[in-house]
Amino acid sequence: MVERPPQQAIELLEKAVERSKRRSSVRLPLGFARDQVNAFPAPPLAQLLRGGGEVRIKVLLTILMMATKHPHETRVASRELAAMLNLRDADGAGARRANKAISDLVTANLVRRDLRPGHVPNVTILDPSGSGEEWNSEQLSGTTYITLPPDLWRRGWLIALSGRALALLIILRENTGGRAKGAWIPGVRHRQYGLSEDTWTKATKELRESGLLDVEEKVYSFQGEPRRRNVYTLHLDRLGTFDPGDLALQA
């Protein structure tokens, strides 16, 4: 069951959204979530999850939300990030965890950090596909990107959901797009996301329990044989209607 985050953390995230003056959804390139090139897919999203990467994913997404326009740069202290993400001991151990997450993102060529003694560092988002190149989300067009609504941050869902649930939310957002109807994921595409079956199963369970996902098993015929497929329907409209934890109470 998803738990409602502390009100203080929700308010800090809400203030970060308002401070960013973001009026549109956060954009991510398909290459962040899906590797369509390598025989053994390892897109940045799946790589960030490895070794307990929940803080890495949440830090990256939060900086991306805050750095609204090209060159997608913002100033944010590690302790501020820790407080927004409800990390324990935000001024001490939590700040160190947030700082380590940023260092890992630098190593992964996903952000650049300009350190200045005595000042809060500038953090710049690089191409989320992992190329290390400069990033401009406004250059994305057509169906070449994934969108995440600001309410994911504003209402505290980013804190409440685990890293794997956020990863699956991003993946399913790509597959369902803006459609209210559900979508199924072919086996080849499923592998391109690079997530283990265990991660996929646990994340699916969490999103269902949170009220953000319905999964319906449908049977169809292939060459005269019955085949089963899972059809996934996201309810992103609920991100803005409910606070995390409210859906469970209404079930």
Rounded CA gap, 110 and 94, in Å? 21
- pTM of the entire predicted model: 0.92
Q: Are 25 and 239 in contact (CB under 8 A)?
A: no
Domain residue limits, the chain: 7-250
Closest CA to 33 of 182, 185, 238, 141: 185
CB of 72 within 8 A of CB of 136? Answer: yes
Segments of the chain scoring below 70 in pLDDT:
1, 178-180, 221-225, 246-251
Cβ distance 139 to 127 under 8 Å?
Answer: no
pLDDT of residue 180: 65
C-alpha triplet 1, 26, 205: angle, nearest 5°: 20
Cα–Cα distances in Å, from 18 out to 49, 106, 135, 174? 28, 26, 22, 26
**pLDDT at 221 (0 to 100):** 63
User: Which tens digits make up the pLDDT trace of 220-241?
Assistant: 765 566 778 889 999 999 998 8
Beta strand 213-222 with 145-148: parallel, antiparallel or unpaired? unpaired
Cα angle, residue 172 at apex, residues 7 and 103 outer, rounded to 5°:
60
DSSP 2: P
SS3 215: strand
Q: Can you point out the beta strands (E) in 48-144?
A: 73-75, 111-114, 122-125
Tokens for 232, please give them: 């996934």
